[in-house]
A and B are shown apart, each in its own frame.
Chain A
Amino acid sequence: MDLYAQNILDHYKHPHHQGVIAHADAHYHEVNDTCGDDIAVSLKMTGLKIKEIKFVGEGCAISQAAISILSEELVGKTKAEVLTYEFKNLEKSLGIKISERRYKCALLGLWAIQHALEKYKI
């Protein structure tokens, strides 16, 4: 049995940046209705740059590890950069191959951040 890479399980069991940012500049609640995964993100911005990301979520190891990793990796990136982020970028960040059936699990957190950013205007 080939479990996920150690970093995925670590992030799942001990997620980073959990919580809600008070007076956030942007936030979004993304739900995958077909499987029940659920991620709410809040963002602090400096102009068009991401200063901080926090999340509250429930779901499988892939979805929760992905948002935990993104909440670190995307800090300092601009709105425009993050909006062009796609599956292949994410797969690189996770460091494992994601099968098609786990596509939505992996992308849920990124979608939450992108939707939050889409609504964000200076």
Chain B
Amino acid sequence: MIKRRDFPILNKKINGQQMIYFDNAATAQKPLAVIQAMDKYYLQSNANVHRGLNPLAEEATQAYEAARIVVADFISATPTEVIFTRGATEGINLIARTWGETNLQAGDRIVLSLAEHHSNLVPWLQLKEKLGVELVYIPLKKNGELNLVAAKKLLALPRVKLLAITQASNVLGILNPLHSLLNIAHARHIISVVDAAQSITHFPVNVQQLGCDFLVFSGHKIWGPTGIGVLYGRQELLQKMPPFLGGGEMIGAVYQDHFTVNKLPHKFEAGTPPIAEAIGLAAAIQYVNKLGWQTIQAQEQKLTSYFLERLATLKFVKVLGRPRLLSQKLPVFSLLITGIHPHDAADLLGQEAIILRAGNHCTQPLHQFFSLSATLRASLSFYNTKAEIDIFIRKLKKLYRLWNNKDNS
């Protein structure tokens, strides 16, 4: 059963009004269970991991490694294939710098979609600058869906070595047809990187079923803490890759003139890792497991159809991205309001305690594709309610009315 009281921040008031948090795609709120798990670690078990032959270090190490097992089970990977990073962005950078730099050459092609977040774009642009690889973009249809016909053609081009693609757009809220794309990639020996930063919070992600080579996500978008993310990589690939950052933990032995690397997954975890954050992430995943994906998905589908239904009654609002099937739409809505710039709307509705995001949401090429500079985004999570949508619609109408009433010329 969904309990809003598990998320104390949802009771917050802004300017005396009950806050409505509609910015979950930027970061999700944290349940008490996550906050308490991190507190408990700092209050009772804090020590550096994998170092020191003392009982406290052993306790901390056990908690940290137990968190890795929780994450591995959650995405159906083995623990040695789960690397803790600072977030999805660091995960993609790690792949680009290690796998990319050792396996790609000038003229090799990387296929991406036009809807990628900058974090699944800039690391590849950096490889373009450094190695001379070519980036090829899968176009979108007018309704925001990925153009699968074009994608198939692009993946058949010579020298395509990598497919780097998001499972769901953080702006359009549309799921990509990953099974088809990954099947083609697999058949053509194209390595695949799946950006699950958005999708991980909406439905179960299973790396075995997907058959991807790499997958990344961030803890804070799945009701966990900031500063922690996960990189999944197929063992065979991770083993062949050179280490990313150098330092403690990632080494086997260090001599004056050389070093050897540690085993997986520690090979890619240089320095003291985010221990409390890993424990917090595990607590978030356990919260999801307990609540159940069925409950989360059922509520989100209800919110998605209700949001679109209510929005359809407003002539002055346009939604970006309408897939043919409602089942392919997440509760993420990027909006355009006639005559009101997204910044003004986010600021003014924010004063009414409705938390939205305005801007290009780190997807400038996508906004260029739609010839837009900014949109107003409302992104919901399972703890949001129909009543909150009603208030949002009412305030949006009020804003539009006031904005235009002031026009006395």
Enumerate chain A interface residues (CB-CB to B < 8 A).
1-4, 6, 9-10, 13-14, 33-38, 58-63, 99, 101-102, 105
Closest approach, in angstroms, between the C-beta of A12 and any C-beta of chain B?
A: 8
Whole-angstrom CA separation of A122 from B269 in the bound complex? 57
Tell me the minimal C-beta distance from B229 to chain A in angstroms.
22
- Does residue B342 face the partner (Cβ distance < 8 Å to A)? yes
Which of A3, A6, A34, A58 is close to B348, meaning CB atoms less than 8 Å apart? A3
Q: Which of B122-130, B199-207, B398-406 is found at the contact surface with chain A? A: B398-406
Asked if B351 is at the interface of the complex by the 8 Å CB criterion, the answer is: yes
A101: chain B residues at CB < 8 Å are: 347
Known: A1-B395, A35-B358, A37-B373. A62 touches B343 (CB 8 A): yes
Known contacts A1-B398, A1-B402, A35-B358; A62 and B344 CB within 8 A of each other: yes
Place the interface of chain B in its size category.
20 to 34
B401's nearest neighbour on chain A, judged by CB, is A1
Q: Are A35 and B402 in contact (CB under 8 A)?
A: no
B24 proximal to A (CB < 8 A)? no
Q: With the chains together, A96 CA to B374 CA distance in Å?
A: 24
Partner of B409, one of A3, A14, A34, A99: A14
The answer to the question of B352 belonging to the interface, with a C-beta cut-off of 8 Å to chain A, is yes
**Once the chains bind, are B409 and A58 in contact (CB under 8 Å)?**
no
Contact A58 B373 (CB under 8 A): yes
Which residues does chain B contribute within 8 Å of A33, judged by CB atoms? Answer: 364
B406's contact among A3, A14, A59, by CB below 8 Å, is which?
A: A3
**Is B159's beta carbon under 8 Å from chain A?**
no
In the bound complex, residues from chain A placing their C-beta under 8 Å from that of B348 are 1-3
- Would B402 and A99 count as touching, CB distance under 8 A? no
Quote the shortest CB–CB distance from A37 to chain B (angstroms): 7
CA distance A6 to B402 in the complex (A): 11
Scoring B residues 335 to 373 as 1 if CB is less than 8 Å from chain A, else 0, what string do you get?
000000111100110011000001110001001000001
Q: What are 12 inter-chain pairs, A to B, with CB distance below 8 A?
A: A1-B398, A1-B402, A2-B348, A3-B403, A9-B403, A35-B358, A35-B360, A35-B374, A36-B367, A58-B373, A60-B342, A62-B343
* Chain B residues, CB < 8 A from A1: 348, 351-352, 395, 398-399, 402
Q: A102: which of B347, B364, B398 is its contact (CB, 8 Å)? A: B347
Q: Which residues of B contact A34 (CB under 8 A)?
A: 359
Is B407 in contact with chain A by the CB < 8 A criterion? yes
> What residue of chain B has the Cβ atom nearest to residue A63's Cβ?
B343
Whether A9 and B343, one on each chain, are in contact in the complex, defined by CB atoms closer than 8 angstroms, is no
Q: Which of A36, A62, A99 has the most CB of B within 10 A?
A: A36
B395 & A61 in contact (Cβ 8 Å cutoff): no
Residue of A nearest to B374 (CB): A36
Contacts of A63 in B (CB 8 A): 343
Query: B343: nearest residue on chain A (CB-CB)?
Result: A60
Between B342, B364, B373, B374, the greatest number of chain A beta carbons within 10 A of the residue's beta carbon is seen for B373
Tell me whether A10 and B352 are in contact (CB under 8 A): no
Kindly report which residue of chain B lies nearest to residue A61, judged by CB atoms.
Answer: B344
Extra A-B contacts (4), CB below 8 Å, given A2-B348, A3-B403: A1-B348, A9-B403, A60-B343, A61-B343
Residues of B with C-beta under 8 A to A14? 409
* A14–B407 CA distance with the chains assembled, in angstroms: 10
When the two chains form their complex, are residues B409 and A60 in contact, meaning their CB atoms are under 8 A apart? no
Nearest CB in chain A: distance from B373 CB, A: 3
With both chains docked as a complex, state the minimum distance between the C-beta of A109 and any C-beta of chain B, in angstroms.
14
Contacts of A62 on B, CB cut-off 8 Å? 343-344
Docked Cα-Cα span, A4 to B399, in Å, equals 11
Interface string of B375-409 (1 = CB under 8 A from A): 00000000000000000000100110011001101
B133 nearest CB across to chain A (Å): 24
Residues B359 and A36 in contact, CB atoms below 8 Å apart: yes
In the complex, what residues of A have CB within 8 A of residue B351's CB?
A: 1-2
Contacts of B402 in A (CB 8 A): 1, 3
A20 to B403 Cα, complex, angstroms: 29
Contact A60 B359 (CB under 8 A): no
